[in-house]
Amino acid sequence: MKAAGEEQLEQYLKENFEWFHRHPELSYEEWGTTAKIRTLLTEAGIEILPCPLDTGLVAVVHGSKGIQSGREGTIALRCDIDALPVVEETALPYRSETVGKMHACGHDFHIMAGIGAAVLLGKRRGMFAGTVKFIFQPGEEESHGALKILETDVMDDVGQIWGFHADPTNEVGVVGIREGYVAAAVDRFVIRVRGVGCHGAHPDDGVDPILVSAAVIQALQSIVSRNVNAFHPALVSVTRLQAGTTWNVIPPEAEMEGTVRTMNREDRVLFERRIREIAERTAAAYGAEAETVWTPGPPAVYNDGRMAGLCGEVAEECGMITVPEESSLGGDDFSYYEDRDTVGRELPGCYVKIGVGVGKQIHHPAFCVEESAILPAAQYLAALLERALL
């Protein structure tokens, strides 16, 4: 049985979740989303920090039980707020009102679970000492939104970063928790192969960049099987290959693009070196040239052991079922908050997966969050943040 106040809160969370679901906005265009979050938090008496962000915002709840300041007494919860360029295929009465944009990653759920946790903590200020910052972050789907937050000074006094994601592989009431690496580093590469164009019937007059590309693509797959430690999760996928304009001309150039996913820091360096070597030397063997452009993305997400332990304890206290969090070679720019190279210090973090009902995977056009997941998620996050400050 829910208490009257709980029912009211649940209603509020569901109604506003539906609003966000109906009004998805893409990365760095979250103007209406940001305005709505600001309104809801302000109405709930939650303070919003002045912060030079175009989209996204940072709210804060101070405990009044005693004094706890600095990094010891300041923690943050990251909630990402952007949607995806996906045409929604659900039959929800509150489906997206913008064709081609959809909250297909559940960030609308993240927004309302975060607001709910802020509201609950706001009512319990007298029960804890310290400060909780709620980071409503733009641009997660573009992999670099966290850097916008880190460019401000808002994280400077934060001693712990917490994060979560909607999980459609688990029922409502289930939390996935794991210590160690839970999401991969996400790097991107482009290889341009330059040969010599010629007539399709006279390949001996040119250097065929398509044949070279085929050899490069085959050889790239040897990095995982022959260069990476067999106990390290890693993969490389070539996801785009473009060359030529017609059937009887060998083109002068080909271009391919892809992604590398790794969990270990040293493997990122290894991949960048081996991809360059394979592309350049394979091309040279065929009389062509290759150039590689490597674009590093967010590092792997690492869950601090002590924080992961607390996630489990609080989940049990909240009556939730805990399961081992599934590791994935997907990525999340949450890792930037924890990354020594980005923030200049170690910042312990923990990122859990909250069950939203079993259904289609995130980013699928029929992905959907069960609304009954929002209140328990808000309650769980509020309890977790409060305990983290004790």
Give least dist CB 140 to Zn ion, A. Answer: 6
Cβ-proximal residue to Zn ion, closest one = 105
Q: Taking contact as CB under 5 A, which single stretch among the options 31-39, 104-112, 117-125, 367-375 is the one that binds Zn ion? A: 104-112
Q: What is the Cα–Cα distance from 49 to 376, expressed in whole angstroms?
A: 27
| 79 interacts with Zn ion by CB under 5 A | no
Give least dist CB 92 to Zn ion, A. Answer: 18
Amino acid occupying residue 343: V
Binding string to Zn ion for residues 228 to 247, with x set by CB under 5 A, is what? --------------------
Q: What is the Cα–Cα distance from 264 to 269, expressed in whole angstroms?
A: 10
Q: Taking contact as CB under 5 A, which single stretch among the options 105-113, 153-161, 200-208, 312-320 is the one that binds Zn ion? A: 105-113
Q: Taking contact as CB under 5 A, which single stretch among the options 1-9, 103-111, 320-328, 377-385 is the one that binds Zn ion? A: 103-111
Cβ atoms within 10 A of the Cβ of 14, count?
Answer: 16
Tell me how far CA of residue 13 lies from CA of 44, 178, 337, 381, in angstroms: 12, 28, 27, 14
Total of chain residues touching Zn ion, rule CB under 5 A: 1
Looking at beta carbons only, is 141 or 386 nearer to Zn ion?
A: 141
Amino acid occupying residue 217: I
Q: Binding Zn ion by CB under 5 A: which of 40, 105, 174, 301? A: 105
Q: What is the Cα–Cα distance from 174 to 179, expressed in whole angstroms?
A: 17
Looking at beta carbons only, is 105 or 377 nearer to Zn ion?
A: 105
Give least dist CB 196 to Zn ion, A. Answer: 42
Q: Give strand pairing partners of 166.
A: 354
277 three-class SS: helix
DSSP string, 93-151: TT--SSTT-B--SSHHHHHHHHHHHHHHHHHTGGG--SEEEEEEES-TTTT-HHHHHHH
Q: Taking contact as CB under 5 A, which single stretch among the options 32-40, 61-69, 97-105, 178-186 is the one that binds Zn ion? A: 97-105
Binding site for Zn ion (CB under 5 A): 105
